[in-house]
Homo-oligomer: A and B are copies of this chain.
């Protein structure tokens, strides 16, 4: 389907509550284990989502609206979650994600973006010209990308426990293609 701002907002609105329902108070064996060295746990992914909401999506949307293609987006720190997570519990991260997402969506709605606005172009430092609509669609798809990752990382913890059923569970053979 084409990008539709209301559909994007509908998805973005639901992600914090979905992750909260899945992860809050779950044993740390599920939430704090990863897929091996230099990979992320569900806890790390929630920190990454907070960091992206803080530094990526809305700041880049404002850059497009203010500067168009004359100023590239600033860099995104893929390890920014380390700072977000330091000293926090998963419950605190889930609270923080819900709060920052709500604020960002309030800000997004307040922009009253038109179809013409969504077609405005900005400059991604690696991808080149992108539209505001593509940026906002990517915000939603990025949530799904990391929900996909979280479900894979958690399933990985039971790769031995399921015994011979592992061959029937595609998630067990999914490559690490949704972010390390």
Contacts of A92 in B (CB 8 A): none
How many chain-A residues does the 8 Å CB contact rule pick out?
Answer: 63
CB–CB B26/A164 < 8 A: no
Of A43-51, A64-72, A123-131, which binds chain B?
A123-131
Of A83-91, A102-110, A144-152, which binds chain B?
A144-152
Tell yes or no: A115 within 8 A of B by CB: no
- Kindly identify which residue among B10, B23, B131, B177 contacts A170, using a CB–CB cutoff of 8 Å: B177
Separation in Å of the A52 CB from the closest CB of chain B?
12
CB–CB A145/B158 < 8 A: no
Contacts of A138 in B (CB 8 A): 162-163, 165, 169
Tell yes or no: A111 within 8 A of B by CB: no
Q: Mark A147-180, 1 if CB is under 8 A from B, else 0.
A: 1110110110110111111000111111111110
CB–CB B174/A155 < 8 A: no
Given contacts A141-B158, A144-B151, A148-B155, contact A165 B6 (CB under 8 A): no
**Sample of 14 more A-B contacts, CB < 8 Å, known A1-B157, A18-B19, A127-B165:** A1-B33, A7-B30, A10-B30, A18-B18, A18-B22, A138-B163, A140-B158, A142-B169, A145-B151, A145-B155, A147-B147, A169-B178, A171-B178, A174-B177
The residues of A with any CB-CB pair to B shorter than 8 Å are 1-4, 6-7, 10-11, 14-15, 17-23, 26-27, 29-30, 33, 124, 127-128, 130-131, 133-135, 137-138, 140-142, 144-145, 147-149, 151-152, 154-155, 157-158, 160-165, 169-179
